[in-house]
Chains A and B, each alone.
Chain A
Amino acid sequence: MLVQIARRLLIAIPTMLAIIAVAFFLMRAAPGSPFDAERQVPAEIEQRLKAAYDLDKPVSEQFAIYLGKLILHGDLGPSMKYKDKDVADIIAEGLPTSLIIGAAAMILALCVGCSLGVWAALRQNRPEDYVAMSFAVAGVCLPPLVLAPLFSLIFAVELRWLPSAGLYRTDYTVSHLLLPVVTLALPQIAIISRLIRASMIEAMRSNAIRTARAKGLPEPQVIWRHALPVAMIPVVSYLGPAISTVLTGGFVIETVYQLPGIGKQFTIAALQRDYTLVMGVVILYAAMIIFFNMMSDVLYSTLDPRARRD
């Protein structure tokens, strides 16, 4: 297991470097510069502004400087739009919101998805199964983009049960988080419940389960101790992709519900050519996705020896 982690980490280094390089040059290829909006600035001041951020140097040299600071000092640099803020500060402000929403959605998706899937599998081809699976299909077809505005329309605008938007740092209440978290979790609930239903049905037909029943184990024990652990394996391997979907899906959620997370910052930064902030967010998300994918794969191959390579 340690060897596997070490090997994954070794691959992660060139991966991160490649991601950083592509994002850096792509961002610089975009027309315009961070100081475009300030047209009234005289030419020499703009020159000095650019010099202050090293923007007057050739792009390859800028990349070398950026990478040097990043690797040697872990310095993401100053934001080019928020004048007196560092990228690290902006990320630190937004990260808790994004993480809370993401983690809550993930936990909700796992709990509800697994229960729904197992419940449906144990009632295969009965009406309850069809109802649960219709719900799951609908969940995949009602993406956050559609759900978020409709939820706010129904629960916030029409019924006035919940606030539609505005999560402020000083005022974290469950009611603010409820709609964003449910919206983010629903497509994942759908996917996880379908996955676990299929694998649970397969597990219940296996010889191991027939043996367990034959030796007279009570049915709950057959299900919980013998079938469920096997059925969970596909879900574990889906965890990595699920986490990256939830993390990036947080984007729409943050925009629609006007939450101050980092996903929302990224789009604004990309449109305003805030080079350093874009880079900071890309690096953070890439690192998180690589990490969670690695954890998911390691966990998967620990649980299922058949999945181990070589």
Chain B
Amino acid sequence: MADAALASHPGGAARGRSLWDDARRRLARNPAAVIGLGVLAVLTVLGLVGVANYSFAGLMGLHPVDMLFRESVSAPPSLGAGFLLGTDTQGRDLFARVMFGLGISLAVGLVATAVSLVIGVLWGATAGYIGGAVDSAMMRFVDILYSVPFIFFVILLMVAFGTNIWLIFVAIGAVEWLTMARIVRGQTISLRQKEFVEAAKAGGADGAAIIARHIVPNLMGPVVVFATLNVARVVLLESFLSFLGLGVQEPLTSLGKLIADGANNMDTAPWMIVYPAVVMFVTLLCLNFVGDGLRDALDPKDR
């Protein structure tokens, strides 16, 4: 990514510091973002182990995600009994389940964001680059979609086609691309008038090549910031669907689903809601710190 930005930068072949070198340096000076990145890395590893523990039950001495400990149903957290975060109402180890749910939530967030990125960047860059009537038609379409109460349609999609995890990815991604398209279009319009685009045109590059080689790499800044914050939004949206019983389904689980289950049992087993909620809070907090840090690093207006 950094290489692409470097290559397309005017005079990028020189030994100068690229936008991304600068940004990396500024990011490293932002303690909240650095800590956020570190914690996110740890959480990602935990999530991966959690998902692996689902595929290969009993990995690394963890309790299998689905194993029922019938003699310790709704057991409070205790190290002695081997249940670090307690068990749920069916006697499943909450620690293994929270790790697994974290992995699934992050996966949903990443995949849905990737879907929205692809649609949004292509749509916005095309509209902004072509301009004129095509631009206003394409952006009017985005305006129209903006006024659709999307959560209803996501719910209707889930009801119509069943709650399939791939459908969740696509449905959420299809909802979230609109803002992306708007950001990308605005950026593209200002980039289109830059000299290096003119130079590429004079050199005989066609529209598609200019979009792919010159416009898109220069858009990466705002796109990366948006994507980071979007992962947090998608995790939230998925948890909302899970809460309504329309998110990921058993035997899978997600942080949202764990919180929803915990909310039903919070009088008798408060740990069932507290731990998934804390993990979700920390995850979202780190994503926001990193997103804000990236924004300051890439767009140092207030330096």
Interface residues of A (CB under 8 A from B): 11-12, 14-15, 18-19, 22-23, 26-27, 29-31, 137-138, 140-143, 145-146, 148-150, 152-153, 157, 201, 244, 247-248, 251-252, 255-256, 266-267, 270-271, 278, 281-282, 285-286, 289-290, 293
25 intermolecular pairs with C-beta atoms under 8 Å apart? A11-B140, A11-B143, A12-B147, A15-B148, A26-B153, A30-B160, A137-B292, A138-B281, A141-B281, A143-B236, A143-B284, A145-B239, A150-B277, A157-B266, A201-B302, A247-B149, A248-B149, A251-B244, A252-B243, A255-B244, A266-B152, A286-B148, A289-B148, A289-B149, A290-B147
Q: Closest residue of chain A to B281, judged by CB?
A: A141
Name A152's closest neighbour in chain B (CB-CB): B266
Shortest A267–chain B CB gap in Å is 5
Binding-face segment, B90-98, B106-114, B189-197, B255-263: B255-263
The residues of B that contact A22 with a CB separation of less than 8 Å are 153
CB pair A293 B147 closer than 8 Å: yes
Contact, CB under 8 Å: A145 / B243: yes
Q: Which of B264-302 contact A (CB under 8 A)?
A: 266-267, 270, 273-274, 277, 280-281, 284-285, 288-289, 292, 302
A205 CB, nearest partner CB in chain B, Å: 9
> What's the Cα separation between A149 and B239 when bound, in Å?
13
The residue from A29, A141, A142 contacting B160, defined by CB atoms under 8 A apart: A29
Q: Is B240 an interface residue (CB 8 A)?
A: yes
Which secondary structure dominates where chain B touches chain A? helix
A-chain residues with CB within 8 Å of residue B256 when the two chains form the complex: 145
Residues of A within 8 Å of B259, CB to CB, are 145-146, 149
How far in angstroms is the closest Cβ of chain A from B222? 15
Please determine whether A137 and B285 come into contact, CB atoms closer than 8 angstroms.
yes
Given the complex of chains A and B, what is the CA–CA distance between A106 and B292 in angstroms?
25
Which single residue of chain B is at the shortest CB-CB distance from A26? B156
Minimum C-beta distance from B149 to chain A (A): 4
Chain B hits for A271, CB < 8 A: 159, 245
Q: Does B155 contact A (CB under 8 A)?
A: yes
- B236 partner residues in chain A, CB cutoff 8 A: 143, 145
B301 (CB) vs chain A CBs: closest residue: A202
B146 within 8 A of A: yes
A19 — which chain B residues lie within 8 A by C-beta? Answer: 148-149
**Min CB–CB distance A272 → chain B (angstroms):** 10
Interface residues on B, range: 35 or more
User: Chain A residues near B288 (CB, 8 Å)?
Assistant: 137, 140-141
Closest Cβ of chain B to A277, distance in Å, is: 12
Query: How far, in angstroms, from A22 to B144 measured CA to CA in the complex?
Result: 13
CB–CB B243/A143 < 8 A: no
Give Cα distance in the complex from A97 to B194, angstroms: 53
* Cβ–Cβ < 8 Å partners of B266 in chain A: 149, 152-153, 157
> Which of A142, A150, A252 meets B273, CB within 8 Å?
A150
Contact status A153-B270, CB under 8 Å: yes
A288 CB, nearest partner CB in chain B, Å: 8
Are B243 and A255 touching (Cβ within 8 A)? Answer: yes
B84 within 8 A of A: no
Q: Considering the complex, give the chain A residue whose CB is closest to the CB of B292.
A: A137
Cα distance A177–B103 in the bound complex, in angstroms: 36
Q: Is the pair A26, B281 in contact by a Cβ cutoff of 8 Å?
A: no
Q: Is B151 close to A, CB under 8 A?
A: yes
**CA separation between A30 and B285, bound complex, in Å?**
37
| A141 touching B285, Cβ below 8 Å | yes
Asked whether B172 is an interface residue with its Cβ less than 8 Å from the other chain, the reply is no
Q: How far is the CA of A252 from the CA of B259 in the complex (A)?
A: 13
Bound CA span A14–B232, Å:
33
Q: Chain A residues with Cβ under 8 A from B245's Cβ?
A: 271
B267 contacts A157, C-beta separation under 8 Å: yes
